[in-house]
Structure 1
Amino acid sequence: MSAFVDAAPPLLNASRFRAAHEAEWTRLDTLLGRIEKRSVRVLSDDDLLALPLLYRATLSSLSVARETSLDRALIAYLEQLCARAYFQLYGVSDSAWRDLRRFFTHGWPGAVASLWRETLVMAVLTVLGGIVAYALVRADPSWFYGIIPEGLAGGRDPAASAEALRTTLYHNKEDGLGIFASFLFGHNAQIAIFAFALGFAFVVPTALLILYNGLMLGAMIAVFADKGLGPNFCAWLAIHGTTEMFAIVISGAAGMRIGTAIAFPGRRTRMAALVDAGRTAAIAVAGVVLMLAVAAILEGIGRQVVTSDGLRAGIGAAMLAAWMVYYYGLGRRHAPRPSA
């Protein structure tokens, strides 16, 4: 470029220079205007490829214009055009609302959809744990105390009478439901974060935690089923459990994605595989925190206000269907493709 600059001054003037390069400036200005009015997603693949080339060409034009002392109006125009292009290419987004909308419509559901294989594995582990614990506790109730700590059971154990268990399902008159919801949110969030974080240890601790979560679920169902209250307990659990269990399963899936990237990076370096997996997993877990907030509200308030088994089960089923459509309907179209 320096040779061109040295040779150009005797031959250049503002009108000739503008005529030679104005098409590039105009196209760059047009592309920037479309991005600023809407977003970069409106550009075609050809426009996206051309954008950095046009930016560099305009920077070169600005350099020539300054060194050859062309008119100030042209230099000011090129400076402004280069500044706009720089902020679109390298600057932060000019709209927090746009970023938030993109997270909910693309980032979050797309990240979860891309984890569908890991999510299926974690769901199978949860169901397997539930079946095993159910069978063990129904065969020998003493297994219950080896699976669920006494404090967590809260009196819902094999020694409780059918009437006492029924009371916990339909006649819970606790006050401060909002405080209770906050407590449950913190508890469930800890399980989800641990399931995600333990994935770094080659997935095994994450798998064991998810399996244990299923064991606790199966053990509790067995206690109520033994007193003829199995369907009632499942309905009581469903109003929040479909959202909560799904969130924990997704957290485990995110941890599994991290762990498998470390253990089996493929053709990439281990660090490159970890960065790629970590980006998707982190977005998914950020959404999981929101899911757990919804579950806490349903568990701390809705579950105790709604006492009809049919309505409880209906709310739980509707929530599960909504999450499935959100993730695997909307999200499937925006799922990031794994790097080779």
Structure 2
Amino acid sequence: MKAITRFFRRKEVETPVDIAAAALRSDRFRLERETDWLRLEKIVTELEKNRTRKLSDDDILDLPVLYRSAASSLAVARETSLDAAALAYLETLVRRAWFQIYGPRSSLWTWFRQFLGGGWSAAVRSLWLDICIALAVMVAGTLVGWLLVAKDSEWYAALVPGSLADTRQPGAGKAILEKSLQGTENTHGLSVFASYLFSNNATVCILAFALGFAFGIPSLLLLVYNLAGLGAMLWLFHDAGLTTDFIAWLSIHGTTELFAILLSGAAGLHIGRSMALPGEASIMAAAAQSGRRAAQVMVGVVLMLMIAALLEGYGRQLVSSTPGRFAIGGSMLLFWLLYFFAFRRSSVGESA
């Protein structure tokens, strides 16, 4: 009963006189500030159309002041429940002005061009110490896999997934192993295979990067485990006298894929190392700074994985000659080395 009484009391307040008074307040509020709003809208419109020459120095200097005034008007409009049209206009105007003042100054294409034009390579060079450590760990993992399988072939099944091993098993004859390295002229299903490879390699790289927060130790262990499988396969083909053929088969995509995994592990290690040794900065500040640098590297890693998937799904299957595979793999390795360590067009994002 009390709720019903309060409902009708509210209804009684909303008389035509009250509505007219509210409209009058809304009109007065708008008229007092409309000049500044229209000026702000004109400045923002010119900026959106990239016609800054039509703006005076006073317009540029007054832009932050006009924005703060419009934002204040928007807050008042929301609190006093002014008319919906004025509220919607202010929300749109403030949003547009915010973007011109605080939003990104370049388009996605401009950022991507700067990224490939030096930003990515500079970020990679800034991780040189972590790259050296990750490379040493990967080499050690390969040796561990080789030695374990050489001592006991039962380790092969534990190190090499069954889906990857297929007919490449200890005890398989040379003819069987050699056949597994042959290419194919049939491209049917290779696109699906390439997608699977990209997904698998992306998972490894993301884990190597994401686990870096634990002082980089899990990232290094993941590198050891993944490269131990490679060492096991190297032993298998070496034992069959197919070392050169296997390295050629692997190089056509491996120079790009292993480089991507190396950078992922280095990026994760970089974050973990900065957290363990933050220096004068706090742990969170050090992690944030290293995280931004490592994230830029990881954006490029995604591009590398896409290229590696295409090379593995198509190039490795369609190019069957050992010299041809070495030529492609060697060219890709040379390209990445030159791009990361010799190409210094821009120093954007580079730091020690």
SS state of the match for residue 221, structure 2?
helix
Which whole-Å CA distance do the structure 2 matches of 1:92 and 1:332 have between them? 23
Match of 2:42 in 1: none
Match of 2:144 in 1: 132
Aligned residue type for 2:207: F
Which whole-Å CA distance do the structure 2 matches of 1:122 and 1:135 have between them? 20
Is residue 101 from structure 1 mapped to residue 118 from structure 2 by the alignment? Answer: no
Which whole-Å CA distance do the structure 2 matches of 1:332 and 1:194 have between them? 31
Is residue 304 from structure 1 mapped to residue 317 from structure 2 by the alignment? Answer: yes
Q: Of 258, 265, 268, which residue of structure 2 is paired with 1:245?
A: 258
8 Å Cα contact 1:185-1:293 kept in structure 2: yes
Is residue 160 from structure 1 mapped to residue 172 from structure 2 by the alignment? Answer: yes
Cα RMSD after superposing both structures: 3.0
Aligned pairs for 1:65-76 within 5 A: none
Is residue 198 from structure 1 mapped to residue 211 from structure 2 by the alignment? Answer: yes
Which whole-Å CA distance do the structure 1 matches of 2:243 and 2:152 have between them? 17
1:312 Cα deviation (Å)? 0.3
Which whole-Å CA distance do the structure 2 matches of 1:200 and 1:94 have between them? 31
1:200-227 CA-partner distances (Å, limit 9, x unpaired): 1111110000111221111001101111
Aligned length: 272
Aligned pairs for 1:15-164 within 5 A: 58-59=61-62, 90-164=102-176
1:93 Cα deviation (Å)? 2.5
Which whole-Å CA distance do the structure 1 matches of 2:114 and 2:163 have between them? 42
1:160-186 CA-partner distances (Å, limit 9, x unpaired): 211111111115557310110000000
1:260 Cα deviation (Å)? 1.3
Match of 1:178 in 2: 191
8 Å Cα contact 1:114-1:332 kept in structure 2: no
Match of 1:42 in 2: none
Match of 2:339 in 1: 326
Aligned pairs for 1:276-315 within 5 A: 276-315=289-328
Aligned residue type for 2:177: L
- TM score, norm. by length of structure 1: 0.72
**Identical-residue share of aligned pairs (%):** 43
SS state of the match for residue 156, structure 1?
coil
SS state of the match for residue 155, structure 1?
coil
8 Å Cα contact 1:93-1:99 kept in structure 2: no
User: Which structure 1 residue ranges, 4+ long, deviate > 4 Å from structure 2?
Assistant: 54-57, 85-89, 171-174
8 Å Cα contact 1:238-1:316 kept in structure 2: yes
8 Å Cα contact 1:111-1:331 kept in structure 2: no
8 Å Cα contact 1:113-1:331 kept in structure 2: no
1:290 Cα deviation (Å)? 0.6
SS state of the match for residue 330, structure 1?
coil
Which whole-Å CA distance do the structure 2 matches of 1:263 and 1:333 have between them? 30
1:112 Cα deviation (Å)? 1.2
Which whole-Å CA distance do the structure 1 matches of 2:345 and 2:129 have between them? 13
Which whole-Å CA distance do the structure 1 matches of 2:110 and 2:58 have between them? 24
Aligned residue type for 1:122: A
Match of 2:267 in 1: 254
Aligned residue type for 2:169: D
8 Å Cα contact 1:110-1:332 kept in structure 2: no
Unpaired stretches in structure 1, ≥5 consecutive residues: 1-32, 38-53, 64-84
